[in-house]
């Protein structure tokens, strides 16, 4: 898949449409100089790339020229960038681990090269799955063992899943008949993006690490049935510590061998594409593991190379290294990494992790980000990090028009999700990170009768105009041990004793299921232009997530998803799962995520009622714990007969069946709540109802 820029001059891009950005947000006029300056730096980088590699297409194909490459005649080309190394060697099974018998030749600009011919019988000197290492010699004659930064496959010792192990680089060159053959094209970009955030390793009921093939066989059918059209795969880039959730990356070009082989990941992606599922990679370019034996750190014997030297290259909170985004060869490494996952594994896009850390020299630590524009345009802003993101998005969207890129940014940087030629950073979506924070805050500290409807609506609608947001109630962050999922905040220990459909009615469980459904629907309908759910939360997974580690005796008890709970018809988890599914399929029908933001027509603090319409669909929420309302007047956008399309009080959703869904609601041509027509409805307490006009 993909395109080419081989005949394209990267400097011949559109004149920046920065005036449009400034017109849409006049507050940015005070910072026009900063916006134009960073765009100018972006163009300067493109000029450097043109001079160094002719065009961006060649520049971002570094994986074709670096690392260990086996050609069609079984010859080997090994090439590395190690600017401070005195000498470089390749060692491994092929030379009986003689550290200095196979030296590289030094080239210009810190590059090193080694060529090895095929054996006399035509076979490759480097056997499939054999082990190799790079040996770096410094100017004092000291030898250091390293793995190639471009390694395609690295493995841990068997039965060493958790921590304290060192990866081994393996030659990955299977016979042609063992290489996975792609069968299905990438799907078109969804107009409405409904993301299922998932982790292959924990996607099994069993007390072990799950596999790519198990996920393809067992989990993708669940995702399709549940109405999601995209998956976001976490912890795929190889990482040092299982419990880091994939955020301590050691080998950026190697997919995690914990779950299987590269070809097995390809099969997973292909199965997803067969089912029309868009596949996003959780990408970590914001930092890297500090490991030296199997990571990028100290690769050439110095603390620089891929990273800033000294304190600027250290992230004190994450205990990791920070990339030098201003370095030409680092840009080649990172941008080629994006192309690698698009070309080799056919991913459909990326969720960029830790973007806030890339935007500011403070790495976002200790900053509240009030929204004042001075926070986004000052000396704390890391222009090199911003320009890298602009280059990455520019390249990806030119080569892959159907791509999706998502930024994890808590700061609210203006222009994050506007095109680069407009002076923006170029992402398609940003995560609405204030929304889950709000839900956890009110669930933790407030009774639902004290919830402020106006405040709740404000958090859900407070996003930048024409910058798309991924709304979510909770992600993997809220599922981790030390926090609680929404279901746990609502029901806690009662989930262990009162989730059977044969159990006596339990008011905590009844309230919990009702609010669980309502919280999801209002976030889905009001909170953004895309929706995200973490694996298992759709059915109120009852326990936190805790990976095997020293502190829990390497237990897998909480590092799994208990699918049997939702599959058991005798348990109430099915009610939340049913509602989540119907909510997604209703969105698929009406497309509110792809419509303009909702119009909130009614917020009543005493009644605890919220009414809004979007894409012609009318949403009504009654958060009051005890008050139900008959003949309640709401405004509707069009004349006609309105019918109930989704009712959280239905039996299938754990409700009390207080509403007759078959009753039609005829509009009156009388304005109400700033809408041109009105209808009268019955809205019980702790209930959400969605109405749509009959065609």
pLDDT tens for 568-625 read: 999 999 999 999 999 999 999 999 999 999 999 999 999 999 999 999 999 999 999 9
Please answer whether residues 690 and 582 qualify as being in contact, where contact means their C-beta atoms are separated by less than 8 angstroms.
no
Q: Residue 12: pLDDT above 60?
A: no
Q: Where are the alpha helices (DSSP H) in 434-506?
A: 434-445, 453-461, 476-479, 486-491
- pLDDT level of residue 16 (50, 70, 90 thresholds): low
CA distances from 262 to 230, 289, 617 (A): 21, 21, 44
E strand or H helix that includes residue 155: strand 154-155
| Between 542 and 251, residue with greater pLDDT | 251
Give per-residue pLDDT as tens, 426-441: 999 999 999 999 999 9
Average pLDDT for residues 130-136, to the nearest whole number? 98
Please answer whether residues 82 and 299 qualify as being in contact, where contact means their C-beta atoms are separated by less than 8 angstroms.
yes
User: What integer pLDDT is reported at residue 5 of this predicted model?
Assistant: 42
Cβ contacts of 408 within 8 Å, gap of 6 or more: 351, 352, 353, 354, 355, 356, 430, 431, 433
Q: Rounded to an integer, what distance in angstroms lies between the CA atom of residue 247 and that of residue 579?
A: 32
Average pLDDT for residues 479-484, to the nearest whole number? 79
E strand or H helix that includes residue 351: strand 349-352
Give per-residue pLDDT as tens, 388-397: 999 999 999 9
Average pLDDT for residues 26-54, to the nearest whole number? 95
- pLDDT level of residue 160 (50, 70, 90 thresholds): low
3-state helix, strand, coil in the chain (%, to 5): 30, 20, 45
Q: Residue 142: pLDDT above 60?
A: yes
Among 625, 325, 320, 579, smallest CA distance to 448 is for 625
Q: What whole-number percentage of the chain has pLDDT above 70?
A: 97
Count how many Cα atoms sit within 13 Å of the Cα of residue 298 in the half-sphere of its side chain: 14
- pLDDT level of residue 43 (50, 70, 90 thresholds): very high
- pLDDT level of residue 414 (50, 70, 90 thresholds): very high
Q: Residue 10: pLDDT above 90?
A: no
User: What integer pLDDT is reported at residue 159 of this predicted model?
Assistant: 59
Q: Rounded to an integer, what distance in angstroms lies between the CA atom of residue 219 and that of residue 204?
A: 9
E strand or H helix that includes residue 575: helix 573-590
- For the question of residue 569 being annotated catalytic, the response is no
Average pLDDT for residues 344-354, to the nearest whole number? 98
User: What integer pLDDT is reported at residue 369 of this predicted model?
Assistant: 85
E strand or H helix that includes residue 391: helix 383-399
Q: Rounded to an integer, what distance in angstroms lies between the CA atom of residue 662 and that of residue 117?
A: 76
Matching residue, tokens 């009318």: 618
Catalytic residue among 267, 282, 343, 408: 408
Nearest-10 crossing angle of helices 573-590, 507-526: 20
pTM for this model (two decimals): 0.95
Catalytic residue among 353, 382, 613, 649: 353
- For the question of residue 263 being annotated catalytic, the response is no
Q: Residue 662: pLDDT above 80?
A: yes
User: What integer pLDDT is reported at residue 15 of this predicted model?
Assistant: 55
| Between 695 and 38, residue with greater pLDDT | 38
Q: Residue 44: pLDDT above 70?
A: yes
Average pLDDT for residues 265-284, to the nearest whole number? 98
Matching residue, tokens 């805050």: 441
């Amino acid at each position: 898949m993909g395109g080419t820029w081989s005949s394209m001059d990267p400097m011949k891009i559109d004149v920046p449409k920065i005036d449009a950005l400034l017109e849409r947000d006049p507050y940015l006029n005070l910072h026009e100089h900063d916006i134009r300056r960073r765009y100018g730096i972006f163009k300067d980088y493109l000029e450097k790339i043109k001079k160094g590699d002719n065009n961006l297409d060649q520049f971002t194909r570094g994986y074709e020229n670096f690392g260990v490459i086996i050609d069609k005649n079984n010859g080997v080309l090994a090439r590395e960038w190690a600017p401070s190394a005195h000498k470089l060697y390749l060692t491994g099974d092929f030379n009986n681990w003689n550290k200095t018998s196979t030296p590289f030749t030094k080239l210009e600009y810190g590059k090193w090269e080694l060529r090895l011919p095929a054996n006399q019988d035509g076979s490759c000197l480097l056997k499939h799955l054999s082990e190799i290492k790079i040996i770096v010699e410094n100017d004092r004659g000291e030898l250091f063992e390293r793995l190639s930064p471009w390694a395609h496959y690295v493995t841990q010792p068997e039965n060493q899943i958790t921590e304290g192990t060192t990866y081994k680089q393996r030659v990955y060159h299977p016979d042609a008949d063992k290489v996975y053959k792609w069968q299905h094209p990438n799907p078109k970009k969804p107009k409405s993006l409904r993301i299922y955030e998932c982790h292959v390793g924990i996607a099994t009921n069993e007390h072990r690490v799950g596999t790519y093939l198990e996920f393809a066989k067992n989990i993708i059918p669940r995702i399709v049935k549940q109405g999601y059209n995209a998956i976001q795969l976490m912890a795929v880039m190889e990482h040092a510590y299982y419990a880091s959730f994939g955020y301590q990356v050691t080998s950026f070009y190697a997919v995690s061998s914990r779950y299987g082989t590269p070809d097995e990941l390809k099969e997973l992606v292909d199965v997803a594409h067969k089912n029309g599922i868009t596949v996003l990679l959780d990408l970590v370019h914001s930092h890297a593991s500090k490991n030296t034996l199997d990571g990028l750190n100290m690769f050439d014997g110095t603390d620089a190379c891929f990273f800033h030297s000294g304190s600027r290259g250290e992230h004190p909170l994450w205990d990791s290294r920070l990339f030098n985004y201003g370095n030409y060869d680092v840009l080649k490494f990172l941008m080629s990494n994006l192309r690698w996952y698009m070309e080799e594994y056919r991913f459909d896009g990326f969720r960029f992790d830790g973007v806030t850390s890339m935007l500011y020299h403070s790495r976002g630590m200790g900053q509240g980000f009030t929204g004042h524009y001075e926070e986004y345009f000052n000396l704390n802003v890391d222009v090199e990090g911003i320009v890298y993101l602009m280059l990455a998005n520019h390249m990806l969207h030119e080569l892959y028009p159907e791509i999706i890129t998502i930024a994890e940014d808590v700061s609210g940087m203006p222009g994050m999700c506007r095109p680069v030629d407009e002076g923006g950073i170029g992402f398609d979506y940003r995560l609405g990170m204030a929304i889950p924070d709000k839900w956890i805050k009110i669930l933790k500290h407030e009774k639902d009768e004290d919830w402020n409807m106006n405040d709740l609506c404000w958090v859900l609608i407070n996003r930048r105009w024409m910058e798309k947001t991924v709304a979510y109630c909770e992600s993997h962050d809220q599922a981790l041990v030390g926090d609680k999922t929404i279901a746990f905040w609502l029901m806690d220990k009662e989930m262990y004793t009162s989730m059977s459909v044969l159990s006596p009615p339990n008011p905590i469980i009844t309230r919990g299921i009702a609010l669980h459904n309502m919280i999801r629907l209002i976030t889905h309908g009001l909170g953004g232009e895309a929706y995200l759910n973490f694996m298992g939360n759709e059915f109120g997974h009852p326990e936190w997530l805790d990976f095997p580690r020293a502190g829990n005796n390497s237990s897998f008890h909480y590092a799994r998803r208990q699918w049997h709970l939702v599959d058991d018809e005798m348990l109430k988890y099915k009610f939340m799962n049913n509602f989540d599914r119907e909510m997604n399929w209703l969105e698929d029908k009406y497309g509110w995520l792809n419509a303009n933001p909702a119009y909130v027509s009614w917020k009543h603090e005493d009644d605890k009622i919220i009414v809004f319409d979007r894409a012609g669909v009318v949403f009504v929420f009654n958060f009051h714990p005890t008050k139900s309302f008959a003949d309640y007047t709401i405004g509707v956008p069009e004349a006609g007969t309105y019918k109930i399309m989704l009712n959280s009080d239905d039996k299938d959703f754990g409700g009390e069946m207080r509403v007759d869904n078959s009753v039609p609601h005829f509009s009156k041509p009388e304005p109400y709540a700033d809408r041109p027509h009105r209808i009268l409805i019955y809205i019980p307490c702790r209930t959400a109802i969605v109405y749509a006009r009959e065609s």
